[in-house]
Amino acid sequence: MGLFQSLKKMLTQDTPKQQTPPSTPPSKTTPTKPVMTIEEGMTRLEDAECPYCHANFDKPLTRKKACPECKRDVYVRTLPYTDEKDSVRVAVTEEQVEKIEIAWAKLNGTYEEYVKSKQRYENMKEKLHKQWGKEPSESDIEWHLLMEERIELANERKWGLYRNATLKMAENLYKIPKYDLSLRHYLGVLYIDLNGPNNVMTIDGKPYEDGVDFDPTEPNAFIAPGIIKRIVLLKDKRVPMSHEEVRELFLDEAGQIHTSIRTPLSPEEAWERLKEKEEYWGD
Ligand SMILES: [Zn+2]
């Protein structure tokens, strides 16, 4: 227990917990009305209090964490605001997360998109549940949504976005964590980057026929330093591998991508180009 919490407890142990009135009528003189105010299922972040059982945390949360008392997941969010000075950080229940997301989407004019992606998520959840005969996990659902998204993007020849979806897959695998598969996918992203992916223009709802899908020349074949950093972390620390093993994994993954989406560079060519790059981690 933190010092502040101990003090608070000492000072309040003999007096009953002060109750705040359930709802404060909005003041008529307030010029800007907050979009959302603290309600049931939310606590101010700085109060370090569980929104479910009201147990005190040692310190305010910085991100999602299970409550040590009731063991339920507590999320950290910012309430929607129009003026930054009204911004309030809160610890919230799972139910409130959704309410806050909806309020943000309405405020940002992305509500329709939000509803669509929620619908896609629910449809995928149901589909997998039927196929597998058991409830899929959040990461299973996200994984299959990304697979589906990539098929659409390949048809639309949006290779930059295809590459981004592949990156999300690598990131998801890192989080679960499945480091070996994550490394494989990061190497795949690297291979796509070396091929210089383009988002082909759409004309009358169709990709432009003469559009260039990939251009592996400079400066299109841009390598993001963040990707290299992650690959190095994975190969050195998470799933330690020899130089030769990393090269083989790269060639194998690149080979599959090369066949499935017809990237211009062969895996070997791409590896040679990588070695010439400043960003290359070395042998
Ligand atoms: Zn709790």
CB burial readout 95-111, b (16+ within 10 A) else e:
ebbebbebebbeeeeee
Q: How far is the CA of 73 from the centre of ligand 1 (A)?
A: 8
Q: How far is the CA of 15 from the centre of ligand 1 (A)?
A: 22
For residue 219, what pLDDT is reported? Answer: 86
Q: How far is the CA of 93 from the centre of ligand 1 (A)?
A: 10
For residue 16, what pLDDT is reported? Answer: 42
For residue 25, what pLDDT is reported? Answer: 52
For residue 23, what pLDDT is reported? Answer: 52
Residues of the chain with pLDDT under 50: 1, 3, 7-21, 24, 27-30
* CB-neighbour burial class of residue 94 (10 A; exposed 0-12, middle 13-18, buried 19+): middle
For residue 123, what pLDDT is reported? Answer: 97
Q: How far is the CA of 206 from the centre of ligand 1 (A)?
A: 52
3-state helix, strand, coil split of the chain in percent (to 5) is 50, 10, 40
Residue type, position 184, single letter: R
Q: How far is the CA of 96 from the centre of ligand 1 (A)?
A: 15
The structure tokens 């098929």 sit at 151
Q: How far is the CA of 49 from the centre of ligand 1 (A)?
A: 8
Q: How far is the CA of 79 from the centre of ligand 1 (A)?
A: 20
Q: How far is the CA of 282 from the centre of ligand 1 (A)?
A: 49
For residue 65, what pLDDT is reported? Answer: 94
Residue 76 · residue 91 · CB < 8 Å: yes
For residue 35, what pLDDT is reported? Answer: 79
Q: How far is the CA of 40 from the centre of ligand 1 (A)?
A: 14
For residue 5, what pLDDT is reported? Answer: 52
Peptide bond into 51 cis (omega under 30): no
For residue 85, what pLDDT is reported? Answer: 87
